[in-house]
Amino acid sequence: MLGFIIRPPHQLLSLLLCPGLRIPRLSVLCAQPRLRAMAVSSSSWELPLVAVCQVTSTPDKEQNFITCAELIREAARLGACLAFLPEAFDFIARNPEETLHLSEPLGGNLLGEYTQLARECGLWLSLGGFHERGQDWEQTQKIYNCHVILNNKGSVVATYRKTHLCDVEIPGQGPMHESNSTIPGPSLESPISTPAGKIGLAICYDMRFPELSLALVQAGAEILTYPSAFGSVTGPAHWEVLLRARAIESQCYVVAAAQCGRHHEKRASYGHSMVVDPWGTVVARCSEGPGLCLARIDLNYLRRLRQHLPVFQHRRPELYGHLGHPLS
């Protein structure tokens, strides 16, 4: 498994990790401005490469696009086939009123810019959480938190509207009432085939619901993606352990692009974007601040792991019928 951490201004720290059960072998190098070849087998270089982008969105939509576009172009230059952006890649507003004001329909100008960018770079894009004015906008005056997948031709090939909204009050982190401006999505979406594998779509708070990840893997998912904007209190406590748990129990790769840093005077995010393999090993992660990390996806390794540890063949669904119901 190959992972890189990339930090502006394009200083590259690369990390070579062997997957799963093997002992990691570490090799660090810097390259300016081009990536130099590393001692790695030709077969691993042939595996699909994905890029995970970490940004600090603000209410400035134009500047946010410039930042994301720079990372996407860098991902394409480094040979990635798919780039993942975090939840709220388009903007993070100061209040629900500003959120609604800045939102757009899927057919609006901003998605048009990303469509053009996907075509220009020849890259698939996971746009992890778009503030979408849906077809019911006029009636509801509320939006959806929509995960959009674009193919390398710029076509929308999948959309998922966040089903679990984050209405929580964490001491020290400030209240979060997503439902003040957002409608929960009505359903899960079938995994979408991409050059990296079959991707199951989720968003941030969804990772706290293992039923969702198990439903996606039973529908064929090989990669679960959790674009996020985790808080500064829940992040250190729960972020990595939840992502690793979802990877282990589902025997999937997990890709989690994250918001980081201070967005404005009212909100900050934890960061630590990462890729986790089906064994639960973190194979790539971003350091502090905006940047990206890269990882190779080895589906043969995933299939071998599922063969050697066939937990889905051992499940007893007749025993679990009430899972997901509210506690009495």
Containing 64, the helix (H) or strand (E) segment is helix 61-77
162 carries an active-site annotation: yes
Q: Which of the residues 121, 204, 252, 286 is marked catalytic? A: 204
87 carries an active-site annotation: yes
pLDDT tens profile 122-170? 999 999 999 999 999 999 999 999 999 999 999 999 999 999 999 888 8
C-beta neighbour count of 14 within 10 angstroms: 20
Cα–Cα distance measured from residue 290 to residue 7, given in angstroms and rounded to the nearest whole number:
7
Q: What is the pLDDT of residue 64?
A: 98
Tens of pLDDT, residue by residue, the chain (328 residues): 334 444 333 333 333 333 332 222 222 222 222 222 223 333 577 899 999 999 999 999 999 999 999 999 999 999 999 999 999 999 999 999 999 999 999 999 999 999 999 999 999 999 999 999 999 999 999 999 999 999 999 999 999 999 999 988 888 877 888 999 999 999 999 999 999 999 999 999 999 999 999 999 999 999 999 999 999 899 999 999 999 999 999 999 999 999 999 899 888 899 999 999 999 999 999 988 999 999 999 999 999 999 999 999 999 988 987 777 777 6
Nearest partner of 222 among 194, 203, 245, judged by Cα: 194
70 carries an active-site annotation: no
Nearest partner of 161 among 203, 190, 127, judged by Cα: 203
pTM of the model: 0.87
Buried b (16+ CB within 10 A) or exposed e, 202-216: bbbbbbeeeebbbeb
Q: Which of the residues 87, 132, 178, 189 is marked catalytic? A: 87
Q: What is the pLDDT of residue 55?
A: 98
Q: What is the pLDDT of residue 87?
A: 98
Q: Which of the residues 162, 166, 252, 260 is marked catalytic? A: 162
Please report, for the chain, the start and end positions of each structural domain, with discontinuous segments joined by +.
47-311
Q: 47-311 in CATH: which number?
A: 3.60.110.10
Q: What is the pLDDT of residue 226?
A: 98
If you ran DSSP here, which 8-state letter would residue 297 be given?
-
